[in-house]
Structure 1
Amino acid sequence: MKLAVIGFGNAGSKIADRIVEYEADTGRSLCRFTAVINTASIDLKKIDYIPKDHRVLIGQTDERSKGHGAGADPELGAELTRQDKPELARFLDGVPLHDIDAFLVIGGLGGGTGSGGGPVLAEILRERYDEPVYGLGVLPSRDEGGRASLNAARSVQSYADQTDGLMVFDNNAWKEGSDTVEGGYERTNYEIAKRVVTLLAAGEYDGSTVSENAMDSSDINRTLAVGGVSTIAYAEAELDDATRRQQGLLSRVRSGGSSEDGNANSATKVHSLVRRAVQSRLTCPADVASAERALIVVSGPPSELSQKGLVRARQWLEAEIDSVEVLAGDDPRKSADSLSATVLLSNVTEVPRIDRLQEQAVDAQSNIEEQASGRDEQITNLVTDADDKLDPI
């Protein structure tokens, strides 16, 4: 698949930047156009890989922002994006539409710019272009507070409404106790980039071995076309010693054993790896059985791939989600240092984290309203004397 990737807000911009970095590091071909959009000029300066002329500052003429951000206010983030719609439209004229299959809009859902402005950008893209518009939204961790939960719960709805499919990454599920705040975000951004690039770049010719059963953009579009929320599974396995020797990492001496044994081992390994991916940590924890469609990509050295293993894995996943809408393909990479399985589960409907997020958001909104209703009286009591004998100047 060939993408126009746009990071919106601070979190979305950092992830888009990491996707470009990971794509280059692994020799894959995914992004035909990349950009970041933000309301805070200082955050745009932290981007390393996306060109400066593709870093767009919005809201700089608005008195409430002046280039200093949206202050975790998604309503303001959305409004600033709408105000600068003409400028954004002119910038988007530079997207090479002849060379992309879809747009990907990335945003953190707990803040202001990405959660509010990202869906507005998706709406603009759908109005102007025929290509699908997908979203990648990052849920805040629980310790980011009730305001972040409220923003995210509302933003999930907006992204789902304004995109053709929303892939979700839950920061809370990926947070580790040893992480610093910054280190945790860096690690999760890398994990997001690895999964997105490995999944969506499969099938693109970039000098790698041509696949026997390649994925293409129509397969990915078909899987995501059902809309709703999607989650991604991923697992890696070490290469066999024989593969390492063939790569020249150990020696050029071929290992013993028959080709029949090798084929059987590869099939079992591929099948087991796909199962392990689905049964381990998803980008957003969900009941796998609630998925409507799925897509499997197994990537690694050609000698580690197995069509028989892919067939078995596909059949197993069809039974797990009770659907025949499961596609599977391989992505040969001669120089890969591991075998990986990436599984896209689309339109999952049983997502406890989002259910809990909605509950937290309702509580947070109720608390905010209660506090606001009594605030005027509290202020009056604070600045006036008890007997009301003093007059203001």
Structure 2
Amino acid sequence: MNLAVIGFGNAGGKIVDKLLEFERDTGRSLWRFALAVNSAEIDLERLEYVPRDHQILIGQTDQRVKGRGAGADPEVGASVAERDSHEIERALDGVPIHDIDGFLLVAGLGGGTGSGGAPVFGETLDELYEEPVYGLGVLPSADEGGRAAFNAARSLPSFTEATENLLLFDNDTWRKHGETVERGYDRTNWEIARRVVTLLAAGEIDGSRVSEAAMDSSDVKRTLSTGGVSTVAYASEELESSTKEEKGLLSRFTDGDQSNGEHADTTMKVHGLVRKAVQSRMTCPADLSSAERSLIVVSGPPEEVSQKGIRRARRWLEEETGSVEVLAGDDPREYADTLSVAVLLSNVTSVPRIDRLQDQGVEAKQNIEQQSATREDEISDLITDDGNELDPI
């Protein structure tokens, strides 16, 4: 797919930055336009790959913001996104509409600017353009506190409604014990980039070999057209240089066609990687059988990509999901050092993490209301003498 990607808020901007870095490092061709939108100037300063003239600071005239952020308040984030939407729209004049398949709107859902502003701007994009608007939302980890859970639980239905399909990434699933916050976010953003780029860049013409079974953007768009929320599974395996050289030499004589003598090990390797991907950590854990549609992308050196293995993996996933709506194809990468698999599970409806998040959000809401109800009395008790004998000046 060819996409215009927009990061909203601190997490959204950092993820877009990482997407651009990963695309550059792997020689992919996916992003036709990139934009970062934030209400905090200091967060924009940290970006390395989003061009400076594609960084938009919103809320500068809002007395609550003034370039210092939305203060983890999604109401403020939504307000400034709506008020300054014309500035963002002007920046989108540079989008090559004739050359994109859609938009990808990225945001963390636990803060203020992203959780409040991304759903608002998603609706704006939908009104302005005919191209689909996809979302990538990051759920906060439990240690980010009740306020973050409350924000995410409120933002999730709005963001889902404002996009064609919302890919979810759960920080709670990807936390590592003892890891610093900064290191943790940098690592998880790289994991997001690896999965999203591997999945969405499949089938694009970027100098890599194109096979007869290559995945293309229409396959990805069809799988994402279900609406709802989705998750991505991923697995990879390092390739030994001697194995690559041997099979690469063989492919020159066979013109890359292994149909008459395809190695059993490549068949099992591809099939095994697909099973490993969906049985290990998804971007947001979900029940396989609840997916409406699925898509498998196998990426790596052509001689390592077994078509028989892909067919076998597709049949296995059909059985696991109970759906015949499973597409599968390859994305040949002649000089790749790894064989990787990305599996998109679209419109999953059994997601335990969302249930827990909603419970956390309700509990946080009740705590906030209870604290608000008693706060005025507590303040009064603090500043007034016990006998109420002193008159204020």
TM-score for both structures, normalised by structure 1: 0.95
1:22 aligns with 2:22: yes
SS of the residue 1:299 aligns to: strand
Alignment of 1:32-47 (within 5 A): 32-47=32-47
Question: Do the aligned partners of 1:243 and 1:304 also contact (CA within 8 Å) in 2?
Answer: no
Mapped partners of 2:173, 2:184: distance in 1: 12
Mapped partners of 1:66, 1:239: distance in 2: 51
Alignment of 1:293-308 (within 5 A): 293-308=293-308
Mapped partners of 1:7, 1:390: distance in 2: 55
Which residue in the other structure is 2:65 paired with? 65
Which residue in the other structure is 2:255 paired with? none
Mapped partners of 1:267, 1:212: distance in 2: 17
Alignment of 1:338-377 (within 5 A): 338-377=338-377
Question: Do the aligned partners of 1:107 and 1:137 also contact (CA within 8 Å) in 2?
Answer: yes
Question: Do the aligned partners of 2:215 and 2:328 also contact (CA within 8 Å) in 1?
Answer: yes
Question: Do the aligned partners of 1:33 and 1:95 also contact (CA within 8 Å) in 2?
Answer: yes
- 1:178 offset after TM fit, Å? 3.3
Gap runs ≥5 in structure 2:
253-257
Question: Which amino acid in structure 1 is aligned with residue 277 of structure 2?
Answer: A
Question: Do the aligned partners of 2:34 and 2:50 also contact (CA within 8 Å) in 1?
Answer: yes
Which residue in the other structure is 1:189 paired with? 189
Question: Do the aligned partners of 2:262 and 2:306 also contact (CA within 8 Å) in 1?
Answer: no
Question: Which amino acid in structure 1 is aligned with residue 304 of structure 2?
Answer: E
- 1:386 offset after TM fit, Å? 2.0
- 1:247 offset after TM fit, Å? 8.2
| Cα displacement string for residues 107-138 of structure 1 (whole angstroms, at most 9, x for unaligned residues) | 01100011110111111100100000000001
- 1:263 offset after TM fit, Å? 2.7
Mapped partners of 1:162, 1:205: distance in 2: 30
| Cα displacement string for residues 72-109 of structure 1 (whole angstroms, at most 9, x for unaligned residues) | 00110000000101222222222110010010000011
Which residue in the other structure is 2:264 paired with? 264
Mapped partners of 1:293, 1:123: distance in 2: 25
Mapped partners of 2:96, 2:334: distance in 1: 30
| Cα displacement string for residues 289-339 of structure 1 (whole angstroms, at most 9, x for unaligned residues) | 111110000000000011111111111101111111111010000110010
Which residue in the other structure is 1:81 paired with? 81
Question: Do the aligned partners of 1:213 and 1:330 also contact (CA within 8 Å) in 2?
Answer: yes
Alignment of 1:147-166 (within 5 A): 147-166=147-166
Query: Cα distance 1:247–1:180, how it changes in 2: closer, same or farther (>3 A)?
Result: farther
Mapped partners of 1:89, 1:333: distance in 2: 36
Question: Which amino acid in structure 1 is aligned with residue 69 of structure 2?
Answer: G
Query: Percent of counterpart pairs with the same letter?
Result: 64
Alpha-carbon RMSD across the aligned residues, in angstroms, is: 1.8
Question: Do the aligned partners of 1:239 and 1:304 also contact (CA within 8 Å) in 2?
Answer: no
Which residue in the other structure is 2:238 paired with? 238
Mapped partners of 2:118, 2:239: distance in 1: 40
Alignment of 1:164-179 (within 5 A): 164-179=164-179
SS of the residue 1:342 aligns to: strand
- 1:389 offset after TM fit, Å? 1.7
Question: Do the aligned partners of 2:247 and 2:303 also contact (CA within 8 Å) in 1?
Answer: no
Which residue in the other structure is 1:329 paired with? 329
Query: Cα distance 1:259–1:155, how it changes in 2: closer, same or farther (>3 A)?
Result: closer
Which residue in the other structure is 1:204 paired with? 204
Question: Do the aligned partners of 1:247 and 1:335 also contact (CA within 8 Å) in 2?
Answer: no
Gap runs ≥5 in structure 1:
253-257
